[in-house]
Amino acid sequence: MFEIPLAVRGSLYAVVSNYYFNGSWHFEECFLDRHPKASSLISKIVIVPYSSDTLIWIHSSSDQFSSKEAHRFFPRQSWSMDWFIGGKKIWKPFIPHSRSTLMWRMLLRHLPTEDSLAKAGLSLASSCQFCYALTESLAYLFLHCPYSSGLWDYFLSLFRVHLSFQLSPLDLFISTISWKASPQVGNLWLTTVVQILWAIWYARNRLIFEDCFIPLISSISFIHMTFKDCNRLNIGGMHNTQSDLLPLHRLRVRPCPPRAPRIIEVYYRPPHSTLA
């Protein structure tokens, strides 16, 4: 209000009671001579006697703070439906809860990558823990790092799936779960995507906190081990097509042909004619 310089504010120790008494303001002559504008503004302030100080919310018309007024003041975040669409897909019986929890945190943008920590005020000498090439971000860590690219290239070749890595990790995940396939192949692909992201995050944390590097071939072997466990949980049947047989053969997973339709014997009796 009075535009007091920051360098001067620390040396101001006087309080209002030193200058306001008997219902009026009393300033020293030197203050009136040097700051006539400020003294004029202060003199217009009327202090109600015997009243307690209260806090006011300047963004409200009534000067009172409420949850409703605070909600109006803060900008509303435009949340997309990615977390809702993806959240319905990741909680499956054949996906371990630890992997689903990681995906849920990723959909909500709550993974503590180094760029997220920097936005929160924690300054770090950020770099990718695998290649030390670029700053660790969600997109670079899970998509563009050579370690991550090796995992994606290997399993994309097994499923013969083509993905655009120009998308963000969230958009990429939404596009992968919308891939049209039979229940068995589609659920195996969903398991693969979740396990790839979890393997990258697990290897990254082992490297940071235990200084232990997990080779790429070990991560691939670990993901291969999850296919048989996933297939035992009745994830659905396959289609009798070559596009389904080839991925299952490459993954060394037993095909689950669809159940034969149930045949019900029906006898038809025509109605009796009422015509004589």
* Residue 221 pLDDT level (bands cut at 50, 70, 90): very high
**CB count, 10 Å around CB of 149?**
13
Place of tokens 């803060």: 74
Would you state the pLDDT for residue 148?
A: 92
Would you state the pLDDT for residue 264?
A: 85
In a domain, residue 67? The reply is no
Would you state the pLDDT for residue 62?
A: 79
**Residue 188: HSE in the Cβ half-sphere, 13 Å Cα cutoff:** 33
* Residue 160 pLDDT level (bands cut at 50, 70, 90): confident
In a domain, residue 194? The reply is yes
> Which pTM was predicted?
0.63
In a domain, residue 86? The reply is yes
In a domain, residue 134? The reply is yes
- Please state the rounded mean pLDDT for residues 20-24: 80
Whether 137 and 241 map to the same domain: the answer is: yes
- The three-point CA angle 248-184-242 to 5° equals 45
Whether 115 and 170 map to the same domain: the answer is: yes
Whether 14 and 87 map to the same domain: the answer is: no
| 169-209 pLDDT per residue, tens | 677 777 776 777 888 888 888 889 899 999 999 999 999 99
- Please state the rounded mean pLDDT for residues 111-136: 84
Whether 39 and 119 map to the same domain: the answer is: no
In total, how many domains does the chain have? 2
Q: From CA 144, how far away is CA 131, in angstroms rounded?
A: 11
Phi first, then psi, for residue 268 (nearest 5°) are -110, 125
Does position 79 have pLDDT exceeding 70, yes or no? no
Would you state the pLDDT for residue 4?
A: 67
Whether 27 and 132 map to the same domain: the answer is: no
The percent of residues above 90 in pLDDT, for the chain, comes to 14
The residues, ordered by sequence, that sit 6+ positions from 95 with a Cβ below 8 Å of its Cβ are 190, 191, 194, 230
Phi first, then psi, for residue 24 (nearest 5°) are -150, 165
Would you state the pLDDT for residue 84?
A: 53
Taking alpha carbons only, the member of 77, 123, 87 closest to residue 107 is 87
172 touches 223 (CB < 8 A): no
Place of tokens 């760029």: 115
**CB count, 10 Å around CB of 93?**
9
Does position 2 have pLDDT exceeding 90, yes or no? no
Question: What is the domain extent for residue 54?
Answer: 6-59
* Secondary structure letter of residue 150 according to DSSP: H
Would you state the pLDDT for residue 41?
A: 85
Please give the C-alpha separations between residue 254 and each of 135, 156, 228, in angstroms, as whole numbers: 42, 20, 8
Would you state the pLDDT for residue 195?
A: 92
In a domain, residue 173? The reply is yes
More confident position, 221 or 81: 221
DSSP codes of every residue in 203-266: HHHHHHHS--PPPHHHHHHHHHHHHHHHHTT---PPPSSHHHHHHHHHHT----PPPPPPP---
Would you state the pLDDT for residue 78?
A: 47
